[in-house]
Amino acid sequence: MIVITGGSGFIGSRLCSLLCEEGYPVRIIDIAPPPPGTTAEFVRASVLDFPRMHRLFAGAEAVIHLAALVDVQGSIADPFSDFQVNAGGTLNVLEAARKAGVEKVLYSSSAAVYGNPKEIPIAESHPTAPLSPYGLSKLTAERYVLLYNSLYGMKNVALRLFNVYGEGQRPSSPYAGVVAKFAEAFSEGRQPEIFGSGRQTRDFVHISDVARAFELALHCDGFGFPLNIGSGKETSLIELVELMVRIAGKKTQPVFREPKAGDIARSCADISLARQKIGYCPSVSLEEGLRSLLCPEGRGGIGLEAI
């Protein structure tokens, strides 16, 4: 059995569908309701509840730990809650797994651990300098995850995810990626908002490539270092809007707002280590991923008529 904490969320629900389709027995643990239509077992529980995690992990082959507070601005407003869930919750999960005899915890770390990168593409050896409590709690948790390999002989893997996008991402979430926000603006007939010049770049990786990366990591023996999971491509926000507009087949101009404090200028993953260690090879181009998001089954998609 594979346990997925945070399995009701954007990444968790997609990963859960993939693993269920491939015949893995899956147990989701989340404080939110289960993903609609899931065939996985669902248990409503918090990762902060150690005794329940210990019981629920018994007999699992691996725990994929995705549960987290993912709101970067929220972490600045309330660093304590962010630390409790993201760092404390991860330590709970690790201890519960170790004591339940689970060999492997796969962890969803974040590109936020790098802060403002000095070099592009960003390799895992790049210094870490998080700019928010969220980035710091993800880094702290990641360090615990990897320390458990050397201390207790676990086979844990930490994946540093870049900007994940795709179907199922809630635009209303404060953390929602810019792709979901732009798609929502299109569907409501609004102009997409860009904070700053639009020349800032991101590495957009499709949700199906991320789900596949976790599946690949299930089959390896763990490492003492994290692995970057991105597309390996750098795209500016202006390029992103232009591509989305072209796919939609309509014209709209972005509206430019004041830059957000702490917004990083560039981001792009060096994915060669993940390729070498787990055979990770992203297969969905940004154009294909956006097409399937905006025009599912070749139809209008997310209210493209409104653009």
Q: Which residues bind ligand NAD (CB under 6 A)?
A: 5-6, 8-12, 29-32, 46-48, 66-70, 85, 89, 108, 110, 138, 161, 163-164, 177
Apex 236 CA angle, 234 and 239, nearest 5 = 110
What distance in Å separates the CA atoms of residue 294 and residue 275, rounded to the nearest whole number?
29
Q: How far is the CB of 252 from ligand NAD (least distance, A)?
A: 24
Q: Decide whether 74 or 196 has the Cβ nearer to ligand NAD.
A: 74
Pairwise CA distance, residues 75 & 82, whole Å: 5
Rounded-to-integer distance, Cα 214 and Cα 238, Å? 30
Please write down the long-range contacts of 298-304, taking CB distance under 8 Å and 24 or more positions apart: 301/248, 302/183, 302/184, 302/186, 302/187, 303/186, 303/187, 303/188, 303/189, 304/186, 304/187, 304/248, 304/249, 304/250
Question: Is 144 among the residues known to form the active site?
Answer: no
In the complex with ligand NAD, the residue whose CB is nearer, 14 or 155, is: 14
CA atoms within 13 A on the CB side of 26: 29
| Least spacing, CB of residue 94 vs ligand NAD, in Å | 14
Is the CB of 162 or the CB of 223 nearer to ligand NAD?
162
Rounded distance between C-alpha atoms, residue 52 and residue 55, angstroms: 5
Greatest CA separation found in the chain? 57
In the set 134, 144, 148, 280, the catalytic residue is: 134
Q: Which is nearer to ligand NAD, 57 or 304 (CB)?
A: 57
Q: How far is the CB of 268 from ligand NAD (least distance, A)?
A: 14
C-beta of residue 307 within 8 angstroms of C-beta of residue 250: yes
Shortest distance (Å) from residue 164 CB to ligand NAD: 3
Contacts of 234 (CB under 8 A, 6+ apart): 120, 121, 201, 202, 203, 266, 267, 268
Report the residue number, 124 or 252, with the smaller CB distance to ligand NAD: 124
- In the numeric block, the tokens 């593409």 are attached to 121
Six token digits for residue 57: 């992990």
Nearer to ligand NAD, 191 or 234 (CB): 234
Tell me the closest approach of the beta carbon of residue 231 to ligand NAD, in angstroms.
Answer: 12
Minimal distance, residue 47 CB to ligand NAD, in Å? 4
Give the CB-nearest residue to ligand NAD: 9
Q: What is the DSSP letter of 299?
A: S
- List residues with catalytic annotation: 134
